[in-house]
Structure 1
Amino acid sequence: MKKTDLRRLLAAGLTIGAIMTALPACAVQSSSPSGTATPGTLKAVPGFDPAAKTISLGVITALSGPISATASEQIVGQEAYWSAVNAAGGIEGYTVKLVPADNQYNPQLAVQAYQGIKDKSVMLSGILGDASTDALLPILNQSESLAIPSGQSAKFVKEPGLAANFTSYQTNVFNAISHLIEKGEASKDTRFCAMVQDEQSGKARVEALNYAGEKFGFKPGATAHFAPLDASFTAQVQSLKNDGCEVVVFGGAANLTPNLVAAATQLDFKATWIAEFYAIADSFRTSPIADYLSKNFLLTGPGANLDDTSVEGIKNLTSQLKGKPATMQMVYGYIQGITAHAILKKAIELGDLSGDGLRNAVNQLDSVSYQGLQGDVAFGPVESRRLPQTTTLFGYDAAKPYGLSAKEVAYEAPNNNPAF
């Protein structure tokens, strides 16, 4: 990890020195008649040291590169969650540590990052980027390993090697469109369009847009595409303006938003943009783009206002940050910590922390709740899994923490698609 990235995480108020420690890999053998060990005789596997009573989780995220400033905050959120768990005695006496690896938000580096930590972690509690998750799926399946994706494509919920745990892109887009129509800010006569990457996350958003069109009786307009590291969006915004787009589903991260707003301002394009929370960075609150964001962006995500400690998860996260401000990326990581905790607890109960044991643990889980940060996730066998159907909808307000002001907390549109 680069020194600048380490300082960024330390600035969040938490030490991450422990998560950089690589634990020795151990072979796994089972001696019980049923093929699993009892919790008192859990066998060592890569990432689990029964003598030291430590369990290590890998996290593949952007520790460097254009979105590292926000993506690194997911680790802070996970670390906040595990700090509280470990302080209370861990999971059945086992301390949980994180082992981070850098993919720079580049799927071509995801496999390399995984190879560097696969023998140091029992599972991955985060893979940043749908494309990186897609790149790792064949390897996870071949080795019967398990990962929690840091992405929201609905297709991931049916993958046996993944424990998807966020409201999907599809549901967030549908909920946002439903909210606009319900509030009279849009109608079936509105020109709904999209600006997305030409990959899984973009396809998921377009799928939701088409589904919303069927439900609400409109025909979607133009779809413009971009690459994750594009620096100019004049051509895309011009095409959307030429098509008369009034609401645009945007699939970009925070590194792209300033250039997007620059192009929209230059072209006097004043559509409503529907975007995920990670299109925003805290630094935007004092930037020239804040005014455009406040007038034109509707943001989706989990949680609530980041200073609303009446929400259990916000209260607990804030407490662990010890006075430092929370961000929505930290909430995202905190949710991943809750999911990983439930899986590890079940795996220990079943007596097997191997990849196969962790997959079996997910199959044996019922539903997991998230301290008011989002709706429940139904786990169990892949055919019965279900992601949350709730979306918190935010306006942009530079005076609010992280610039997010909740319009609707845990909004759930009527007649949503259960497949999402």
Structure 2
Amino acid sequence: MNRFRTTQAFALAAALLVPLTACSTKAAPPASGSAGGIKTGPGITDSTITLGVLTDLSGPTAAMGKSSLQAQQLHVDQINSAGGVCGRQVKLLVRDHGYDVQKAVGAFTEVQPQIAAMAQLLGSGQTAALLDTIERNSLLTLVGGNSASLLGHPHVQLVGTTYGIELVNGMDFLVKKARLKPGDKVGLVYQDGDYGTNAATGARYAAEKAGLSLVEQTVKPTDTDMTAQVTALKAAGVKAVVLAVTPAQTASLVGVAASTGLRVPVLGSSPAFVPQLLGTPAKPALEKMLFVSTGAPALSSEKPAVVKLVADYRRKYPEEQLNQAVEIGAVSAKLITDTLQAACRGKDLSRDGITTALRTLDAFDNGLGSVQDYSDPAEAPDRKTYVLQPAAGVPGGLKTVQDATEVPALAGYLAAHNG
């Protein structure tokens, strides 16, 4: 395959993530009442608790959205089979926003009066568009997106770590893997928007602490061919590359780099890889060159809770391909049901009561990763990340290279940037 055809193949490798612009909408304050001595609010009846899920089932991140939703439904089914929460069956009210901000706003307006909490709102851009409305309605909302810009809102909660933390921890690994020394050049390719900006902040901080010189390249969400970026990085003489891009862009950059002789370690943030990339021409280069920094362990891990999740998911959805979003869905689902259980013990299932209950979970642990602290909305609940590597033939297409780690430099980063 000649270089031009190779570049074309890598550029078309996978679907894109498309961040969009923000907007807002208004809603009436939620009503409350009581039932059986327990204070209640919207989405609560004597027999049911209804939770919302706004996700992407038809757009550029549909593979991840679908997997996360199915993992949430799996957990809810298991909870309901064991008697539910507070004597009530849990129901998911699901709407597909196709990763479109306007559709997300419309769907939120429709479901908001009917739900007790939002079990997942996929997308940092979608969440940013709805922040004011979420807070106005006191609606606890778990976010499927880890931009630090979403920290500090009382009713909005990231699940796990942030993109900045991923790269501060991950670059410590990269320095060792690439044997980097002060003065060495490292490429930083990142996407415009909250995701890329937050990740780049972490990469810059880590590079400064290690004495490295960054060669930065910004890409648009719609860019698919990374030839120009690779050419610039190769000319600059970089010895490693850091990515905060979409999976398609990862496949293009790593594939083109390998085909043009820039065979250096590449570190990607968590959204930069999906297992579908191992079905593209970039597969050999990805398996050799790419590493992924993420707050979730590999689905190929031997952790008992991960093994059980994989087995349960495969049993319920035998035709579906596993990816890391399965863990995101499972963690979000357990977090919201644990929160509801805490609210039930406090005899307050109103919206404010549910958010208050979440803040009591300062040592949340479902066995899928590190113990997390949800007591402060201004802080990321998890500071540890794993380093994984693409590997065909294992669940989720990733294997563990480094277990959960919090590097010493992270304390200074959090003091300066708070995520």
Moved more, 139-148 or 187-196: 187-196
Give the aligned partner of residue 232 of structure 1.
Answer: 225
- CA drift of 1:390 comes to 1.3
**In 1, Cα distance between equivalents of 2:83 and 2:179:** 50
Give the aligned partner of residue 13 of structure 1.
Answer: none
Could you tell me which of 126, 134, 139 is aligned with 2:120? 126
Instruction: Read off the aligned partner of 2:212 and give its amino acid letter.
Output: F
Instruction: Read off the aligned partner of 2:89 and give its amino acid letter.
Output: T
Give the aligned partner of residue 203 of structure 1.
Answer: 197
Could you tell me which of 174, 177, 189 is aligned with 2:168? 174
**In 2, Cα distance between equivalents of 1:193 and 1:213:** 11
Instruction: Read off the aligned partner of 2:55 and give its amino acid letter.
Output: T
Gaps of 5+ in 2: 1-27
Query: Residue 266 of structure 2 aligns to a residue in which SS?
Result: strand
Determine whether 1:379 maps to 2:382: no
Change (3 A) 1:303 1:379: closer
- Whether contact under 8 Å (1:45, 1:354) holds in the other structure is yes
- Whether contact under 8 Å (2:224, 2:248) holds in the other structure is no
- CA drift of 1:105 comes to 2.1
Change (3 A) 1:322 1:243: same
Determine whether 1:304 maps to 2:297: yes
Superimposed CA distance per residue, residues 229-270 of structure 1 (whole angstroms, 9 cap, x where no aligned partner) = 333333333333333333332222334444444544565443
**In 2, Cα distance between equivalents of 1:69 and 1:364:** 33
Superimposed CA distance per residue, residues 258-309 of structure 1 (whole angstroms, 9 cap, x where no aligned partner) = 4444544565443432223443333333332111111221112244342434
Q: TM-score, normalised by structure 1?
A: 0.83
Query: Larger relative contact order (C-alpha < 8 A, sep ≥ 6)?
Result: 2
**In 1, Cα distance between equivalents of 2:277 and 2:178:** 28
Instruction: Read off the aligned partner of 2:198 and give its amino acid letter.
Output: A
Give the aligned partner of residue 5 of structure 1.
Answer: none
1:242-391 alignment, distance < 5 Å: 242-261=235-254, 263-265=256-258, 267-322=260-315, 324=318, 326-371=322-367, 373-382=368-377, 385-391=379-385
- CA drift of 1:197 comes to 1.9
Instruction: Read off the aligned partner of 2:57 and give its amino acid letter.
Output: L
Could you tell me which of 81, 92, 98 is aligned with 2:86? 92
- Whether contact under 8 Å (2:51, 2:92) holds in the other structure is yes
Number of aligned residue pairs: give it: 384
Superimposed CA distance per residue, residues 84-131 of structure 1 (whole angstroms, 9 cap, x where no aligned partner) = 222211122222222222222233432122123212322212222211
Change (3 A) 1:183 1:286: closer
Q: Percent identity?
A: 25
Instruction: Read off the aligned partner of 2:99 and give its amino acid letter.
Output: Y
1:15-34 alignment, distance < 5 Å: 28-30=31-33
Query: Residue 339 of structure 2 aligns to a residue in which SS?
Result: helix
Moved more, 350-359 or 258-267: 258-267
Give the aligned partner of residue 16 of structure 1.
Answer: none
- CA drift of 1:388 comes to 1.1
Query: Residue 416 of structure 1 aligns to a residue in which SS?
Result: helix
**In 1, Cα distance between equivalents of 2:239 and 2:103:** 37
Could you tell me which of 29, 37, 41 is aligned with 1:41? 37
Change (3 A) 1:269 1:140: same
**In 2, Cα distance between equivalents of 1:405 and 1:248:** 20
Moved more, 87-96 or 196-205: 87-96
Query: Residue 409 of structure 1 aligns to a residue in which SS?
Result: strand
1:74-223 alignment, distance < 5 Å: 74-183=68-177, 185-223=179-217
- Whether contact under 8 Å (1:304, 1:311) holds in the other structure is no
